[in-house]
Amino acid sequence: MDSMEVNKTIAAVLVAGIVFFLSGFIGDLLVSNSRPHQVAFKIETPAEGPKGGAPAPAATPIAVLLAKADAGRGEDAAKKVGCVACHTFTEGGNNGVGPNLYNIVGEPIGKGKGFSFSSALSGKGGNWSFDALNEWLASPAGFAKGTKMTFLGVKDEQQRADIIAYLRSLSKSPVPLPTPTAAELNPPPAGGKEAAAAPAADQSINALLASADAAAGEAESKKLGCVACHTFNDGGKNGIGPNLYNIVGEPIAQGKGYSFSSALQAHKGNWTYDELNKWLAKPMDYAKGTKMTFMGVPDSKARANIIAYLRSLSPNPQPLPGK
């Protein structure tokens, strides 16, 4: 390589270094790295709690709840939540949609009584102890995934204890009540955490229906077990509940050859989107004394999807709000 080529190579390296330096210098001038006076988007983050996160509040032990439970209240609660629609409670009573519940406390889970239990329940093993009954009543689907039981559960823990006390009384030789331990009677303080902020109010049903999905609503209705009590096809027979084809816009609790409860018949008007939304949220609040045992759909978006599905079950679907 002659001296000219060497000089060209050295010059090229020097030029590249100068360009690299100048581009970095100019970039620093154009783009400031100083902290802005105010952030464009403020992202709220929860205050840092104790290391590892605060533990969820523990449920009250069933032994403590049973110590103050009342079988009379439990019988009333069992009627209120609709257990009588599927079960009998007398000695020798017939099975219905669900098994007879006389002498249930202490019996094997999902066995006997001449009833065809789901494999999800018959495969659980063990007996109906107070703890097992408490877990089952809190969430049947959570206790035995795949159960045929469509009841969503009893959220109030003392009400569950009252119902268990009532079930315990349905026996010639009731199972002895558990004795709460000292630790159960005197749990440690919760830690004084501030109560969580209340959830934001639900959107209106009109706004939710604008983006509702009928197919998702159909899947949700099957998941919740609506098909156990209702039919959805044109001309379908009534079951435990009425056929729901073309329900949107129809008079409330009228026609279909079905014997509606007086509690529901007392509601005048038609099944509008608003009325269906209120009914699906909590049937027992909408029509106190209704025969409907379903506890309701707490999620407003899921309700909107179900209503969109019900709307689709018609040769002439009702117009959507604002259309």
Residue 54 is predicted with a pLDDT of 40
Cβ-based neighbour number of residue 284 at 10 Å? 17
Residue 149 is predicted with a pLDDT of 80
Rounded to whole angstroms, the Cα distance separating 133 from 19 reads 78
Nearest to 276 by CA among 310, 243, 242: 310
The DSSP letter of residue 192 is -
Residue 19 is predicted with a pLDDT of 55
| Residue 240 identity (one-letter amino acid) | I
Residue 85 is predicted with a pLDDT of 87
Rounded to whole angstroms, the Cα distance separating 163 from 135 reads 13
pLDDT tens for the chain, 323 residues long, are 566 665 666 666 666 666 555 555 444 444 444 444 444 433 343 444 444 444 444 688 999 999 899 999 999 999 988 888 889 999 999 998 889 999 999 999 999 888 888 898 888 889 999 999 999 999 998 898 888 787 888 999 999 999 999 999 999 999 999 888 777 777 766 554 444 444 444 568 888 998 999 999 999 888 877 887 889 999 999 888 899 999 999 999 888 788 888 888 888 889 999 999 998 988 888 888 776 767 788 889 999 999 999 999 999 999 988 66
Query: Please, what are the domains in the chain?
Result: 62-181 (1.10.760.10), 205-312 (1.10.760.10)
Residue 166 is predicted with a pLDDT of 95
Residue 5 is predicted with a pLDDT of 66
> Could you give the count of Cα atoms lying within 13 Å of 23 in the half-sphere of its Cβ?
6
pTM of the predicted protein model? 0.47
| C-alpha distance from residue 170 to each of 91, 158, 159 (Å) | 8, 19, 17
